Amino acid sequence: MSFSVKGKTAIVTGAANGIGLAIARQFADRGANVMCADMDEKRLADEWGEQKDDATLRYFAGDLRQRLTIANLVSATIDAFDRVDILVNASRQVMPTNALDVEDNSVEVLLEQNLMTALQLTQQVAKRMMKQGADQPEGQLGSIVNLSSIVSRHTRPELMGYSIASAALEQMTRSMALALAPERIRVNAVAFGSVMSASLQSSVVENSDWREDIRTHTPMGRIAGPTELADAVQFLAAESSGFMTGEIITVDGGRSLLDVVAAPAH
C-alpha cells in the first residue's frame, strides 16, 4: 500500500504553528492540496505567504468553535480544490486547571476547543466525503486523523482539563470510526508526549528544567521534532493504513510506558 498523499486534498487545523504547521508543510511538500486553518490570520499569512488562485496550498482564518466558521472552511476547501480526502484535527489548546477551584472553567474551555471543534468538523467533512462517494463505488473515501496526548492516560491535577479533553477526543475517535466505517471513511488518532509542540516549546522556554526532566523520563532520551509526528499522521492519512480505524497510535519515545509522567506532556 502507498504512503503517498500526492493529489489528495487535506484540511489541517492548527496550521499556523508547531505540529499543525509541520503536518501541513509535509503534506504540501509531498504533493497534496492543503487547506491550512487557524485562528491566527497574521501567522498564517506570515507562514504561507500570498494566496494564489492556482496554488495547491491555501489558508483559512477563523474561530472553529463556531459552526458557521466550520461550514465556511469546508466550503472554501471545495471551492479551491473540488473535494476533501483528508482531515487532520491538529488544533489544540493547553491550559492549567485548578482542580479544587469551583470557579475554574478550564474543563469546559478545553472540551469546547479540543473535543467539540474536532467533532463538529469531522461531522461536516464526513458528510462531504460521503457525497463525493456517490460516484466512487469502491475504495476508501477519506481519512480523518485526530491529535491527542498521552495525558489522556497519565495525568497531573494541574492538567485535569487537558486530560479529560484528550480522553474524550480518543473516545470520539473510536465512536466515529464505528459510525463511519460503513461509509468507507477511517478515523484514527495520534497521542503524543515527547514531541516539541508549540505549547511545549513555550513551556521549556519558561522553565528550562522541564526539558531535562522530559528527557530523563523518556526512555529514548530526547524530545522529538514535529516532523516525526507528521510522519505518523501521514501514515494514518494514506492508503498504507487502509485497514486501520479507531486506533490511537502513541508517539512519545516510550514515555507512557513508565509509571510516572513528570513534566507535563503537550
Q: How many Å separate Cα 222 from the centre of its chain?
A: 22
Tell me the residue range of the domain where 80 lies.
9-257
Asked if residue 99 lies in contact with residue 133, where contact means CB atoms within 8 angstroms, the answer is: no
Amino acid at position 185, single letter: I
Domain membership flag for residue 263: no
Torsion of Cα atoms, 219 then 89 then 249 then 243, to 10°: -160
* CA angle (16, 3, 60) in 5-degree steps: 25
Q: How many domains does the chain have?
A: 1
Domain membership flag for residue 1: no
DSSP string over 129-152:
HHHHGGG--SS--EEEEEEEEGGG
Domain membership flag for residue 89: yes
Asked if residue 188 lies in contact with residue 248, where contact means CB atoms within 8 angstroms, the answer is: yes
* Sheet with 248-251, edge to edge strand ranges: 57-61, 33-38, 9-13, 86-89, 142-149, 185-192, 248-251
Domain membership flag for residue 253: yes
Instruction: State phi, psi for 178 to the nearest 5 degrees.
Output: -70, -40
Domain with residue 48: its CATH number is 3.40.50.720
Instruction: State phi, psi for 119 to the nearest 5 degrees.
Output: -65, -50
Long-range contacts of 134-141 (CB under 8 A, 24+ apart): 139/184, 140/184, 140/185, 140/186, 140/239, 140/242, 141/85, 141/183, 141/184, 141/185
Q: Per-residue pLDDT tens for 212-258?
A: 777 788 888 888 888 889 999 999 999 999 999 999 999 988 888 87
**pLDDT for 196:** 76
Residue 264, pLDDT > 60, answer no
Q: What is the pLDDT of the chain when averaged over all its residues?
A: 90
Domain membership flag for residue 21: yes
Domain membership flag for residue 4: no
Instruction: State phi, psi for 253 to the nearest 5 degrees.
Output: 65, 20
Q: How many CB atoms lie within 10 A of CB 45?
A: 14
- Tell me the pTM: 0.92
Domain membership flag for residue 266: no
Residue in 64, 67, 236 with CA at minimum distance from that of residue 142: 236
Distance CA 186, CA 169 (A): 15
Q: Give the mean model confidence (pLDDT) for residues 37-61.
A: 89
Helices 198-206 and 18-29 meet at what angle, rounded to 10? 140
- Distances, alpha carbon 79 to alpha carbons 27, 31, 75, 103, 249, in Å: 19, 19, 6, 44, 33
Domain membership flag for residue 118: yes
Distance CA 199, CA 18 (A): 8
What b/e readout covers 16-33, taking b as 16+ CB neighbours within 10 angstroms?
A: bbbbbbbbbbbbbebebb
Residue 38, pLDDT > 90, answer yes
Q: Per-residue pLDDT tens for 91-118?
A: 999 999 999 999 999 999 999 999 999 9
**pLDDT for 98:** 95
